[in-house]
Structures are given as C-alpha cells and as structure tokens.
Amino acid sequence: MREVRVVRTERDGAVAIGFLFKSTDQLLDPDDPSPLPARELTEFAEEYIAGYLDGCSLQKIGGITIGLPRESLSPDTAALLPETIRRHFSFRIADLNDDMRVSRREGRISLALATLNAAIAVPFVVVFAGRLDEPIVTLLTGLVTILNWVTVWDTYEYFVYDYRRELRKHRIYRKLAGIDIRVEGW
C-alpha cells in the first residue's frame, strides 16, 4: 500500500506535480487524533513528497495536487488538507533548523580535529623522517597517516555532502510550507 502515482505536468515553464495516494491513511497519520489542519502527515507521505521534489528544480515548481479516492474525500477535508500539508512542513522546518544547528557544531568539531591532527602530523614527520627504517616509527607514521586521512575525509564529507543535503532538504520544506496545494478526488 505504499505506492503513490505521480503525475507531472508543465505549463508555461512552471511544473505542477500531482501525488495520487491510495487512501487518506496513506497521507494522514491515522494515529494522530488531532482534527484538520493540526493533524500530522505520515512519515511515508512526508518523505515521499519531499523526496520527489528533491529531484526537481524548486524554482520551476508552481504547485502540487494531492489526489485521494473520491469516497474518502469530504468537502471539508478537501478544504482543510492544503493548510494541513503546509502546516506540517512549516512545523518540521523547526526540527530541521535544530538538526542543522547540531550538524554545524559537528562540522566545527570535525574541522578542529582535522587541524589538530595536521598540527601533530607535520612535526611528527619532520622529527622522524630519517628514522623510517625503525619498526615503531613506521607503525606510528602509518597510524598518524590513517588518523589524518580519516579526519580530513570526515570533514570533507561533512562540508561537501552532508551540509549541502541538509540545506537542500530545508529549501524543499520551505517550498512545501508556502506552495500552492490543491486537493482532488480521483
């Protein structure tokens, strides 16, 4: 029951994306007793919608349409669902902000560790460069090299991959918090 049909249409340079869910329970958390628009989306719906938008140019997306079976869609539900979806993503932005704050702290720690390891490695190599034939020096040189490689790679991975991914997710959620959303029965 995790299948969602996606219909993508383009008009005048703007892209409209339709998500056709099989049931309301696939979209809205059935365990959340809150009335609309305070009800939460399912984790599946949140990840599916945001994940699909991740593959799109956010500037070109003009709106999304949520399709649900006609028999499960009352006029009141159809009227409140757009605000429910925008509210959900607005609320989740605060969680992403907190994740980014923690991530920036971890990035600073990674950078400090990489700098510290480099500060240890350079003097070590200078002092022991002529003594690489001794087994303990060779072992320590290998250990220092591995430690430097790991800390530099971790720092590089954070700044080049992880932080960019977090910023992209934040932009997607901001887009979804303010996007034009229509609800239709199918």
- The torsion region of residue 131 among left (phi > 0), alpha (psi -120 to 50) and beta comes to alpha
pLDDT over 70, % of the chain: 99
- pLDDT tens digit string along 61-91? 999 999 999 999 999 999 999 999 999 999 9
Contact assessment for residue 155 and residue 117, using Cβ atoms and an 8 Å cutoff: no
Kindly tell me the burial class for residue 88, based on how many C-beta atoms sit within 10 Å of its own C-beta (0-12, 13-18, 19 or more). buried
Helices and strands in the chain: count of H runs, count of E runs: 5, 4
Contact assessment for residue 141 and residue 128, using Cβ atoms and an 8 Å cutoff: yes
Task: With cut-offs at 50, 70 and 90, classify the pLDDT of residue 159.
Answer: confident
Distance of CA 6 to the CA centre of its chain: 20
3-state secondary structure of 89: helix
User: pTM to 2 decimals?
Assistant: 0.78
- pLDDT tens digit string along 112-152? 988 898 888 888 888 877 777 888 888 888 888 888 888 88
3-state secondary structure of 19: strand
**Domain positions in the chain:** 5-91+178-185, 97-169
